Structure 1
Amino acid sequence: MLELRHVTKIYQTSSGPNVVLRDVSLTLPARESIGVVGKNGAGKSTLLRIVSHAEAPTAGEVIHHGRVSWPIGFAGGFNGSLTGEENCRFVARIYQQDIEYVIEQTREFADIGRYFYEPIRTYSSGMRARVAFGLSMAIDFDLYLVDEVTAVGDKTFRKKCRDAFAARRERAGLLMVSHDVATLAEYCKRCLVLHDGGATLYDSLEEATEAYEAREAA
């Protein structure tokens, strides 16, 4: 289970404060797959970073009841001077996982050949995303945070991603951001709509998309 208690996020800009999330309180049940929709700038990716503790809220708190992943596909946490293998080794130690297992699972999943043993700074953005995704799948989390990652790679790799999600959905939850309703429908039963700093959880994707479209049209 995941709890957000009075979470507010404000960014200071040259034109004044930008309130992305305003006093958001939610309880997301364990082992549920929940989509997240909202217009550009509504705070979807910000929400995932706050939930993962990669970024602190301006006010409020996030409480984890279980192990939560970083946003899958987010490669910003890699050390560019280290190789893909060395980054995997470092993360495996932090999460107290079997190091060799994590390295091998990530290497096989990412499928980037010899580049796995080269510094991350030499990777293309797609290669970084592949390694980040593979590393996420190599560690068991209770909740996986997903940010538009199913668009990474070619058709074969995207199928590999879908299969990995399907396997983990049986024992873990997903919090998935996507602009593609078809993708959300494939993975999620419920959906969170972000609008004007607020967040509303709907029991079905259909209800959520109707509410989202109505608000955008208003």
Structure 2
Amino acid sequence: MIRLENVTKTFPVRQGQKVIIKNANAIFPTGRSIALLGRNGTGKSTLLDIISGTIRPSKGRVLSTGSISYPVGFSGSFHPDLTGAQNTRFVARIYGVDTRELLEFVQDFAELGPHFHMPLRSYSAGMRARLSFGVSMGIPFDTYLVDEVTSVGDGAFRQKSIALLDDRRARSGAIIVSHSEPMIRRTCDMGAVLEDGCLTLYACLDEALAVHADNLGIPQGAV
């Protein structure tokens, strides 16, 4: 279970403070896969960062009864001068998992070849995303935070990534950001909509998709 209590996040701008999230109160149930929906730039990735603990809310707090992944695709904890393998070892130590098992899993899954033993600064954005996805999915979390899994690698690798996510969801929950309605319907059973800083949780995925489509002013199915 993940509980948001009066979570607010603001960022300083020239005109003062920009409110990204205001007084969000929600409970994300254990074991559920929840689509996080909202317009581009509404703060979905910021909310994932707050839930994961990589950034702090301006006010309020996040409580959890289980372990939460860092947002898949987030490589801010990776050191650019270390190799993919060295960064994997570093993350394994942070989360207290078997280093050798995680190395073997990531090396096989991410398909980086010799680049796995090269400095991260030499990686393309796609290679970084593959490394991040592999490291996160290689660790058993109670809730996985996933930001646009469909952007990870080419078509074949995306299908491989989605299949792995399906496997993890059989035992864990997830909060998933995606602009693909077919992807959302395949992977999620609840929805949350972030609009104008306000977060609303819906037990019915169809209702969340309908609200989101209405916010965008487009027919449902074109999300």
Structure 1 residue aligned with 2:117: 117
1:138-176 deviation line (CA, Å, top 9, x unaligned):
100000000012221112211111111111111100100
Provide the secondary structure at the position in 1 that maps to 2:130. helix
Structure 2 residue aligned with 1:87: 87
Structure 2 residue aligned with 1:20: 20
Letter in 2 for 1:215: N
Structure 2 residue aligned with 1:65: 65
What is the distance in 2 between the residues matched to 1:187 and 1:97?
A: 26
5 Å matches for 1:1-150? 1-150=1-150
Structure 2 unaligned residues grouped into runs of 5+: 219-223
Letter in 2 for 1:73: G
What is the distance in 1 between the residues matched to 2:209 and 2:138?
A: 33
Provide the secondary structure at the position in 2 that maps to 1:207. helix
Provide the secondary structure at the position in 2 that maps to 1:130. helix
Structure 2 residue aligned with 1:163: 163
User: How far does residue 201 in structure 1 lie from its aligned partner after superposition?
Assistant: 1.0
Note if contact 2:2-2:30 (Cα within 8 Å) is conserved in structure 1: yes
Note if contact 1:20-1:41 (Cα within 8 Å) is conserved in structure 2: no
What is the distance in 1 between the residues matched to 2:217 and 2:168?
A: 36
User: How far does residue 16 in structure 1 lie from its aligned partner after superposition?
Assistant: 2.3
Note if contact 2:85-2:116 (Cα within 8 Å) is conserved in structure 1: yes
Letter in 1 for 2:126: G
Letter in 1 for 2:144: Y
Letter in 2 for 1:185: R
What is the distance in 2 between the residues matched to 1:108 and 1:215?
A: 41
What is the distance in 1 between the residues matched to 2:83 and 2:214?
A: 47
Letter in 2 for 1:158: R
Provide the secondary structure at the position in 2 that maps to 1:41. coil
Structure 2 residue aligned with 1:191: 191
Letter in 1 for 2:56: A
What is the distance in 1 between the residues matched to 2:63 and 2:80?
A: 31
Note if contact 2:149-2:162 (Cα within 8 Å) is conserved in structure 1: no
What is the distance in 1 between the residues matched to 2:215 and 2:72?
A: 29
What is the distance in 2 between the residues matched to 1:137 and 1:45?
A: 18
Letter in 2 for 1:197: G
Note if contact 2:5-2:62 (Cα within 8 Å) is conserved in structure 1: yes
Structure 1 unaligned residues grouped into runs of 5+: none
Note if contact 1:7-1:23 (Cα within 8 Å) is conserved in structure 2: yes
CA RMSD of aligned residues (A): 1.2
Q: What TM-score do the two structures reach when normalised by structure 2?
A: 0.95
User: How far does residue 177 in structure 1 lie from its aligned partner after superposition?
Assistant: 0.6
Note if contact 2:7-2:21 (Cα within 8 Å) is conserved in structure 1: yes
Percent identity between the two aligned chains: 44
What is the distance in 2 between the residues matched to 1:94 and 1:209?
A: 37
What is the distance in 2 between the residues matched to 1:141 and 1:105?
A: 15
1:2-45 deviation line (CA, Å, top 9, x unaligned):
01000000011113211010000111100000001111121100
